[in-house]
Amino acid sequence: MAAVASYSYLGSSSLTPDGGRLTLQTSGGPAANPRFFTGFVTTPAAAAVGLLAVAEVARTRYFQPVSPASLDPVVTGSRDRLRFESFSGCCGVYARLDVLPSGLDGEIVAHGTTNVDVNPPLRQALARVGGADPLHFAVGPDDLTVTTFDGPIVERKVPLPTRWLRGFAEAQVITSAFDPRARISAADAMAFLRRLPASGDRSVLWAVPAGRSLRLTSRPAPGAVCLPGAGRLVALRPFLRFATELRVYGPAVGAGNGPVASTWELVSPTMRLSLTLSPEPHRGFSGEGAVLEALASDEAADDANLISALLSWDPTIDVDALAGASGLDAARVRAALTQLGTSGRVGYDVSEAAYFHRTLPYDAGTVERMNPRLRAARALVEAGAVSIAGDLATVRGDHGTYQVRCTDAGLSCTCPWWAKHRGGRGPCKHVLAVQIVRDGVAAETRTEVAR
């Protein structure tokens, strides 16, 4: 399934505070070919290799490989930087190239997001870019023009797979819980990556900081970073010659921990190339279920409408500033950002531990329709299948009656899904249904108190 949106306006009409001048945006824009960014990159060879890496991830299925089908990176211009993002064909690897301010010799005159095909002619042109060769980008709402010594190549906007939207939503929730776990030099990173298993290996390993490098082990331990399907890091290797260090991010783990996602980021003075790996090679981010609780919350949905109106295209989103402007506390702002992330409006940058703004052609309703567990939970609520007595709820499901218990650790269920995943793939439909009912009761109580 894919979706295409028609962007009729380049921005919002505005009324300037000084003099009250009205500026209207029309479908034609200020020029025949509007652009977010037009200019050169300062390290053309590194940018070419980085963009090829993002495109290579998009055309690869790491689990059950098949012929390449999609090469459609998403490009976002955001005040002082460009971001190129993609998912693998199996949706288990999220790649991003951030071209930082020092990497751009030009001006981002507007902001926005588009998604373009990277076809064979462009890949061939990028592969021929040398260190002293110029590389020029022109990014607009409908196309990306890349100019090398071979001449200009125009890539038009293409349909974006809806599975990618679910992946973007899940990845920003999952990575927002990551912390830095290791930093090693580019030379040590090269030696480490060379020791990794072949690309077809599907084992789950753990990387433990050891001196100036990382040591691989088969068991988790405090401070370790999960490395599921180590061969999926192969796309980083060509960029190593431009990098100064490898940074690794992940959640806190302990002995006996199950597989978790992790981010592996190569850093250069002008850009960052990162790969985020799903917890297991056969698991795509689109099915992780990390956003379901946020989608089920009516309060978060209402808060998201308020926060959406306050978002700017700054390189990073300041949660405290949004809290001050909206009157919400920081926790509710983060929940609202999660809600916005489900429609592609927000991503998360582990390097800066901050959210960033993008716009994809979807709305939250589209995302909800793509999450069958949430649809099933709402159906249970509408059918009156949920009854709550204190900390224990009973849910009449399609195949039996299940108990949902509320504890200090959260909600748990007696259904087979919960027994299998223990919340590791998000809540089951019964837990979601209970959460929806409880939130409704709480909202009614607040309304009565207010009266």
Q: What is the pLDDT of residue 2?
A: 47
CATH number at residue 233: 3.70.10.10
Is there a contact between 272 and 97 (Cβ–Cβ < 8 Å)?
Answer: yes
In a domain, 334, yes or no: no
Of 256, 288, 320, which marks where a domain is finished? 288
**pLDDT surpassing 50 at residue 71:** yes
What share of the chain in percent tops pLDDT 90? Answer: 41
Tokens of 11: 């921005």
**pLDDT surpassing 80 at residue 256:** yes
Same domain, 51 and 177: yes
Same domain, 280 and 395: no
- Dihedral (CA of 175, 179, 181, 187) sign: positive
Q: What is the pLDDT of residue 442?
A: 53
| Nearest CA-CA partner of 43 in 106, 132, 123, 128 | 132
For the ranges 102-111, 422-431, 441-450, which has the lowest average pLDDT?
A: 441-450
Same domain, 402 and 265: no
Same domain, 278 and 386: no
Same domain, 128 and 34: yes
Q: What is the pLDDT of residue 309?
A: 85
User: Using N-to-C axis directions, what is the helix angle for 330-341 and 298-310, rounded to 10°?
Assistant: 90
Same domain, 245 and 376: no
**pLDDT surpassing 90 at residue 185:** yes
Instruction: Give per-residue pLDDT as tens, 8-53.
Output: 334 443 444 444 343 333 333 344 456 788 899 999 999 999 999 9
Average pLDDT, the chain: 83
Q: What is the pLDDT of residue 363?
A: 59
**What SS3 state is found at 286?**
helix
Please compute the mean of the pLDDT values over residues 112-133 and round it to a whole number.
85
Number of structural domains in the chain: 2
Q: What is the pLDDT of residue 69?
A: 53
Same domain, 146 and 241: yes
Same domain, 280 and 386: no
Of 236, 257, 288, which marks where a domain is finished? 288
Same domain, 380 and 268: no
Residue 234 CA to residue 231 CA, distance in Å, equals 6
What is the residue whose two structure tokens read 């912390």?
Answer: 179
Same domain, 228 and 376: no
**pLDDT surpassing 70 at residue 55:** yes
For the ranges 181-190, 191-200, 380-389, 425-434, which has the lowest average pLDDT?
A: 191-200
Instruction: Give per-residue pLDDT as tens, 194-229.
Output: 988 876 677 899 999 998 999 999 999 999 999 999
Could you tell me the residue range of the domain that residue 416 belongs to?
372-451
- Spatial strand order in the sheet of 112-115: 112-115, 74-78, 81-87, 93-99, 271-277, 262-267, 245-250, 179-185
**pLDDT surpassing 60 at residue 141:** yes
Please compute the mean of the pLDDT values over residues 332-339 and round it to a whole number.
85
Q: What is the pLDDT of residue 3?
A: 44
Residue 132 binned pLDDT confidence (cut-offs 50, 70, 90): confident
Q: Which residues pair with 274 in a beta bridge?
A: 96, 265
In a domain, 211, yes or no: yes
Residue 67 CA to residue 181 CA, distance in Å, equals 35
| Nearest CA-CA partner of 380 in 334, 345, 432 | 432
Q: What is the pLDDT of residue 11?
A: 45
Residue 281 CA to residue 264 CA, distance in Å, equals 15
pTM of the full structure: 0.82
Is there a contact between 71 and 55 (Cβ–Cβ < 8 Å)?
Answer: yes
In a domain, 376, yes or no: yes
Of 230, 256, 288, which marks where a domain is finished? 288
Q: Which residues pair with 75 in a beta bridge?
A: 84, 114
In a domain, 339, yes or no: no
**pLDDT surpassing 70 at residue 445:** no
**pLDDT surpassing 90 at residue 117:** no
Residue 437 CA to residue 235 CA, distance in Å, equals 45
Residue 336 binned pLDDT confidence (cut-offs 50, 70, 90): confident
Same domain, 92 and 197: yes
Residue 262 CA to residue 284 CA, distance in Å, equals 13
Q: What is the pLDDT of residue 79?
A: 81
For the ranges 17-31, 246-260, 297-311, 414-428, which has the lowest average pLDDT?
A: 17-31
Q: What is the pLDDT of residue 227?
A: 96
In a domain, 6, yes or no: no
Residue 105 binned pLDDT confidence (cut-offs 50, 70, 90): very high
Direct distance between the N- and C-terminal alpha carbons of the chain, in angstroms, rounded to an integer: 47
Q: What is the pLDDT of residue 104?
A: 93
| Helical (H) or strand (E) element with 136 | strand 136-139
Residue 391 CA to residue 406 CA, distance in Å, equals 5
Tokens of 56: 């290579």
Which range scores top for mean pLDDT: 64-73, 200-209, 322-331?
322-331
Residue 114 CA to residue 107 CA, distance in Å, equals 18
Is there a contact between 82 and 38 (Cβ–Cβ < 8 Å)?
Answer: no
In a domain, 357, yes or no: no
Residue 434 binned pLDDT confidence (cut-offs 50, 70, 90): very high
Same domain, 266 and 125: yes
**pLDDT surpassing 50 at residue 432:** yes
**pLDDT surpassing 70 at residue 361:** no
Q: What is the pLDDT of residue 169?
A: 83
In a domain, 60, yes or no: yes
In a domain, 15, yes or no: no
Higher-confidence residue of 162 and 91: namely 91
